Amino acid sequence: MKEIIVNKLSSGQKAEKFVRKYLSEAPLGFIYKAFRKKDVKVNGRWVDKDHVLQEGDVVRIYVTDQQLDDFKKPRPVTKQDLPYPIAYEDRGVLIVEKPKGLLVYGDATGVRETLGNAVLDYLYLKGEYDPENAAFTPSPAHRLDRNTSGLVVYGKTNEALQELTLLFKERTKLHKRYLALTVGDITTDGTINTPLWKDANNGRVYVRPIEQGGKEAMTKYHVVRRYGDYTLVEVELITGRTHQIRVHFASIGHPLVGDEKYGDFASCRLVKKLTGLESQFLHAYKLIFEDVGGALSELRNREIVCALPADLRKVIEQLTAKGAQ
């Protein structure tokens, strides 16, 4: 039998989710069976899987020592400072400036160097995460592609993560802005309202009418500066489809500089030769929070900004030596 006291970070979770995270390697069937067999107690009483836990609750999971060894494998962490800039932090939220080329999550290769692992190391150092006694793991409320730099938002508590996830889903009190360098001269601001469809087999996204399976997708953009052959735009996502910015700008004949997946291949070769850039020029540079409350109240009416990184500024300089219009 294992006894765990619910801390503030885990408060508000359903019992099933708490047990699943604590026994992270256990098959889902094992978790469900534990509840059916009444092998989970809270404060001395049997509970069902939908019971909501509160801070200070005592959870008892009736499993053998061998099952604990098999099913609870703490994520390897070490106490160390965060090697990436922190744009904002309070009791429940951490916003980090992710560099281009870094994964937010691990992948099938088991890569250790991810933003998520670095964040856990940092919170372990601060005493805000304990891998040996953590049914809740601080996690990002959204994601960025590996080769997109910029702001990534983490919930340090379950309450904050739930509220952040809802904000990113609803997009009414939280607004995201990106900076993108596009191929060609864009002369005016505009809106791209074109449905998109993702092919799960190859991971690519295509323009496709809604009646043929496409999903509504809308992107607004503002011209920041024109450089003749290139244009720097500020982009606002109204919807949040996979690769939306990249596919939308390619669909209007202005693909992102360096985008080998959806872009102009001749342009990519030229850009790589001139600057060494091997991926899309896209940077998540601003988050605008409106009248948020609850666990996010300290973010009310705040703007969090992450400046364009030096390597991307250098790309602009190298590509626009002739000067802007």
Query: Which two structure tokens, joined as six digits, stand for 120?
Result: 């856990």
- pLDDT attached to residue 1: 80
What CATH code is carried by the domain that includes residue 12?
A: 3.10.290.10
Residue pLDDT, tens place only, 226-239:
998 999 999 999 99
Looking at residues 258-271, what average pLDDT do you find? Answer: 91
Mean pLDDT of the chain: 89
Looking at residues 243-261, what average pLDDT do you find? Answer: 96
- Residue 169 gets the label, from left (phi > 0), alpha (psi -120 to 50) or beta, of alpha
Q: Which residue did the predictor score with more confidence, 217 or 111? A: 217
Residue 323, pLDDT > 60, answer no
Residues 24 and 120 in one domain: no
- pLDDT attached to residue 106: 59
Residues 13 and 46 in one domain: yes
Residue 322, pLDDT > 60, answer no
Lowest mean pLDDT among 26-35, 36-45, 274-283, 289-298: 26-35
Lowest mean pLDDT among 45-59, 79-93, 167-181, 274-288: 45-59
* pLDDT bucket at 76, cuts 50 / 70 / 90: confident
Looking at residues 176-201, what average pLDDT do you find? Answer: 95
> What's the rounded Cα separation, in Å, for the pair 137 and 134?
6
> What's the rounded Cα separation, in Å, for the pair 72 and 59?
15
Residue 243 lies in a domain: yes
Please provide the distance, in angstroms rounded to a whole number, between the alpha carbons at the two ends of the chain.
Answer: 71
Residue 36 lies in a domain: yes
What CATH code is carried by the domain that includes residue 200?
A: 3.30.2350.10
- pLDDT attached to residue 211: 95
Residue 74, pLDDT > 70, answer no
What domain range is 57 assigned to?
2-71
Looking at residues 176-204, what average pLDDT do you find? Answer: 94
Residue 223 lies in a domain: yes
Residue 117, pLDDT > 80, answer yes
Residues 257 and 274 in one domain: yes
Q: Which residue among 90, 145, 229, 311 is the active-site one?
A: 145
Number of domains into which the chain is organized: 3
Of 109, 134, 167, at which residue does a domain stop? Answer: 167
Residues 91 and 223 in one domain: no
Residues 275 and 141 in one domain: no
- pLDDT attached to residue 25: 73
Lowest mean pLDDT among 61-65, 78-82, 174-178, 196-200: 61-65
> Does residue 69 carry a catalytic annotation?
no
Residue 79 lies in a domain: no
